[in-house]
Amino acid sequence: MWKEFKQFIFRGNVMDLAIGVVIATAFTAIVNSLVKDVIMPCIGMLTSGIDFSSLKVVLKAAVLDPATKEVLKPEVAIGYGLFINAILQFLIVAIVIFLVVKGINKARSLAESKMKKEKEEEAPAAPETPADIALLTEIRDLLKSGNQTK
């Protein structure tokens, strides 16, 4: 069982998947920062300073202690602004992944066409038939055609 598990873990696909997960996690942090710190402030400026992350529908207001102003019961709210942020993050990730995959596919097709061209260039030309063999081939063909007419 240990041997099978070891083969499974060190198989190329599992290692590729693990590397992909680590890179995706780091990439998510970058995209989150891009959306939160760059894109959303620009969108907020275009929409008269609205901060999307604070947009919500309050279903039940928070209960405060009148003397200390301490929150006794937190508010119940639907944070649709956070949902808008999540949609924007998803769209940005999808666009970036699309561009990366498109670039990889283009690079792969260029490399394949270059390799194909190199193979065609490397392929040796058919050797030229020596004159005596060409003459013998012609004689053979003439004899074959002459025998068929009789």
pLDDT at 149: 53
Rounded Cα distance between 84 and 55, Å, is: 9
How much is the pTM?
A: 0.53
pLDDT digits (tens, 9 = 90+) for 95-139: 877 888 899 899 999 989 888 887 777 767 677 888 888 888 889
CATH superfamily of 2-125: Large-conductance mechanosensitive channel, MscL; domain 1 (1.10.1200.120)
Distances (CA, A) of 48 to 69, 82, 95: 31, 18, 27
Rounded Cα distance between 34 and 47, Å, is: 18
pLDDT digits (tens, 9 = 90+) for 49-91: 777 778 899 999 988 888 888 888 989 999 898 888 888 878 8
pLDDT at 101: 84
Domain borders along the chain are 2-125
pLDDT at 31 over 80: no
pLDDT at 76: 92
